[in-house]
Amino acid sequence: MTKPHPKAFLRRAGQLLATASVAAAALAFANAASAQTLTIESWRNDDADVWNTKIIPAFNKKHPNIKVQFKADPPTEYNAALNARLAGGTAGDLITCRPFDASLDLFKKGNLTSVNDVKGIENFSDVAKSAWSTDDGKTTFCMPMASVIHGFVYNKEIFDELKLTPPKTMAEFHAVLDKIKADGKYTPIAMGTADQWEAATMGFQNIGVNYWKGEEGRKALIEGKQKFTDPAYVDVFKELASWAPYMGDGYKSQKYPDTQNLFTLGRAAIYPAGSWDVPIFRKQADFEFDAFAPPVVKAGDKCFISDHTDIAVGINAKSKNVEAAKTFLSWVASPEFAEIYANELPGFFPLSNAKVEVKDPVAAKFVGWRGTCESSIRNSYQILSRGTPNLENELWNVSAQVMNGSMKPEEAAKKAEDGLASWYEPHKK
């Protein structure tokens, strides 16, 4: 068919093959030569710019001879990719730690080292360290970095236009929602259930702390003194179910980025938020926005917030640069790091005892609730997500289903409780 072509093609292909193998060899060599650098594994791909332009240069001012490279995977792929690389021995020197069992598992498998002897660890309280310590609290294996706080962000211009004031109680919250819905121009609540985790964290954990009284309920759940079928928990699911009519068209297939866009385009009034949303809104919203704390159940109730220990950093046990890594961790524990982190990434709040001033007014409002309300962490994270079925996965699933109307609040509570009771002793009764 084509006579002269094949030979020419093969010759060209041969050349390409030769150059490619040389190139591949060169790449492999370059990889080996850069071993003196510290590499950070992270899921915070949103923060890559801040790390590269602010945090790492600040560190290098003090320690010019330690090179640091920030490498991030998308959050949903982080656990899988990290585990694969740890198994293969190719993971970076520094590992960004998820809270509680995911990291505890890494420590138990010998992938993370203890950081008890790293200078600066004394700057953190036991509560701050709890998410990255063994059950007996004796060994800490990651240096705490930041927590995130839940609450509600609202579009101030819409609130002014409709003459609304931020609600303090659930009754007021519903009154506000009704007014926005009655006006008809805006979607009252920006939230979707397609990604499922929004329903569980921005919904269930966000408002739930006020129902189960923060740490009191969280600890009672771990001890088996409370169950998901108790009224407090069923009520949270009931409340979530009541949000459905206020959410946008097609919220069932609305994903997290859609939710963010819905709010930043000015089409929605209230956004159940995590404080990490604040910097993104700063960049994309061209209107003024503010925040209110999760409304309490009844007027006069004490308020609680989900102030969740979210992110820390530990040392890969197989790292060849342990000393340099410890130097870096000590710096992460310093007030200087806390200052940079809190202000470059408003919405991530330092866990160290250092006093840091948060400049972003909305982020400052979030962190200000620490003074007026009591902090707690998400109730599914410590111990309770160790078995099969995994409680956190179950909460995602049932919270989304309750909001979709495909499951009744009582059924959701029962499913979560049954799953837990199937493997967790204190709940087997």
Of 142, 85, 89, residue with least CA distance to 116: 142
Beta-carbon contacts of 197 under 8 Å, excluding residues fewer than 6 positions away, are 256, 396
CB of 418 to another protein, least distance (A): 11
Cα–Cα–Cα angle for 154, 156, 161, rounded to 5 degrees: 120
Q: Is 280 in the site for another protein (CB under 8 A)?
A: yes
Closest CB to another protein among residues 83, 169? 83
Q: Name the CA dihedral angle for 307, 309, 311, 314, rounded to a multiple of 10 degrees.
A: 160
Q: Which of residues 32-71 bind another protein (CB under 8 A)?
A: 32, 45-46, 48-49, 69, 71
Q: Which of residues 186-205 bind another protein (CB under 8 A)?
A: 192-197
CB of 257 to another protein, least distance (A): 4
Q: Which stretch binds another protein (CB under 8 A): 3-11, 128-136, 175-183, 325-333?
A: 3-11
From the list 235, 360, 392, 417, which residue makes contact with another protein (rule: CB under 8 A)?
392
Cα separation, 201 vs 204, in Å, equals 6
Q: Which stretch binds another protein (CB under 8 A): 55-63, 72-80, 306-314, 322-330?
A: 72-80
Tokens 């949303």 belong to 277
No. of helices (H) and no. of strands (E), the chain: 19, 10
Q: Is 22 in the site for another protein (CB under 8 A)?
A: no
Q: Is 9 in the site for another protein (CB under 8 A)?
A: yes
CB of 207 to another protein, least distance (A): 21
Tokens 């060849």 belong to 320
By residue count, the chain amounts to 429
Q: Which of residues 235-274 bind another protein (CB under 8 A)?
A: 248-258, 260-262, 264-265
CB of 12 to another protein, least distance (A): 9
Cα separation, 303 vs 295, in Å, equals 8
Q: Which of residues 350-389 bind another protein (CB under 8 A)?
A: 380-381, 385, 388-389
Chain centroid, CA 116 distance in Å: 25
What share of residues in the chain are helix, strand, coil (percent, to 5)?
50, 15, 35
CB of 334 to another protein, least distance (A): 27
Closest CB to another protein among residues 147, 210? 147
**Residues 73-112, mask of contacts with another protein (x by CB under 8 A):** xxxxx-xxx-xxx-xxxx-------x-xxx--x--xxx--
Cα separation, 394 vs 280, in Å, equals 29
